[in-house]
Amino acid sequence: MHKKNWKTFFSFVLLLVIIDQFFKIFFMRTLEFGSSFSIFTLTKNTGTFYGLFKNGNLFFIFITVAVIIAVLLYYKGMEEKHKLPFALILAGGIGNLIDRVFLGGVIDFIDLKIWPIFNLADSFITIGILWLVWLLFLKEA
């Protein structure tokens, strides 16, 4: 494992976490919970996507920590093409974990009206997972 790759990987993860947290803090200071402005509605989610498993915050903290540990352990043997999607998943997990631990739930603010309210960390996780599925599909095809 090259030290430069490791530093780049974790610098990218850190950058994404900072961006995610910046926007959450911005909207928490700008909007009251439940209030809306354009495509932004501030909410706190103690469950998972679609608000499923409400009040499962502690359970999701443990799951997120387990996923983060798994990604970190897998990093050393990770193929180069998997690093960016895993960085997205790791950054999203850390961003939402920060919310769960310090705020009691995930702060969501992007409201497209046709989809449940979400945040940048959710987007990072979704893009990373879809990317990995795509890579798996390409390998099988």
- Closest by CA to 92, choosing from 117, 129, 57, is 129
Rounded-to-integer distance, Cα 18 and Cα 137, Å: 32
User: Any catalytic annotation for residue 111?
Assistant: no
Catalytic residue among 20, 99, 111, 122: 122
Phi, psi of 118 (to 5 degrees): -140, -175
Is 122 among the catalytic positions? yes
10 Å Cβ neighbour count for 104? 11
Which amino acids are annotated catalytic? 108, 122
